[in-house]
Amino acid sequence: MEYIKVSQAAEKWGLSTRRVRVLCAENKIEGVIRKGSLYMIPAYAEKPIDGRVLRNKKLQSKFAALFLEIDYKKTEITKRRPFTKGELQRLHDEFLVEFTYNSNAIEGNTLTLQETSMVLEGITIDQKPLKDHLEAVGHKDAFIYVQRLVSEFTAITEHEIKNIHALVLMDRPEDKGVYRRIPVKIMGAVHEPPQPYLIKPQMNDLIRIMNKTKKLCILLNVLHSFI
């Protein structure tokens, strides 16, 4: 088995060497071998979840692996910074295409990933419904609108959320920015969206919490459950 030193693990995980030694001493890293005052860490070992951040918070075991993966990917991204302008644009474009494709696929959109990319570039796909084209373009417009809100530190209001929804529903003008009036279900999902009479008060609570914590947490897919 291949082992790495504390200093190597610290660099890999973006931690101080002192912090890594503490984690070793507390048996928070799987497979560590101690030789005198030295710790040998398995090269495959994953960065432990920082218990200081999660103190007094109950962490479900099913999320532990996910948090570890997020920590690892964040560390890998940090190693590659700073990105060039071209690299940032490429990452932005790839994310936008994949995000649009995955979001619309949930709603039954028939465009493939490649076709979604072409539509966002202004190309019409033969034998594909106009609705599918409008959904892709509307999602892109909403994404760009949210980016602008973030860059301008705009306070989140019900008006802004309805504007986002109106952009997403380019193909359904009668439903733009209107709270739904009937119960809905998500096929195959355990989650049950709120009843119509609960939507406005829950939306107001969401807005209040977001502005209180000064975080922009709009998730476009979640809005489909509310509006």
Per-residue pLDDT of 6-45, as tens digits, reads 988 888 888 888 888 888 888 888 888 888 888 989 888 8
pLDDT of the residue at 227: 42
Residue 146 tokens read as 């949210």
Q: Is the pLDDT of residue 93 over 90?
A: yes
Residue 97's pLDDT band (cuts 50, 70, 90): very high
Question: CA-CA-CA-CA torsion for 17, 20, 22, 25, nearest 10 degrees?
Answer: -120
Please name the fold of domain 85-226. Answer: Fic-like fold (1.10.3290)
Is 60 exceeded by the pLDDT of residue 136? yes
3-state SS assignment for residue 182: coil
The position carrying tokens 């190597």 is: 8
pLDDT of residue 24: 87
* Sign of torsion over alpha carbons 122, 125, 131, 136: negative
Q: How many CB atoms lie within 10 A of CB 167?
A: 21
**pTM score:** 0.61
| Contact criterion met (CB below 8 Å) for 10 and 19 | yes
47-92 per-position pLDDT tens digit: 876 655 555 555 556 677 777 778 778 878 888 888 899 998 999 9
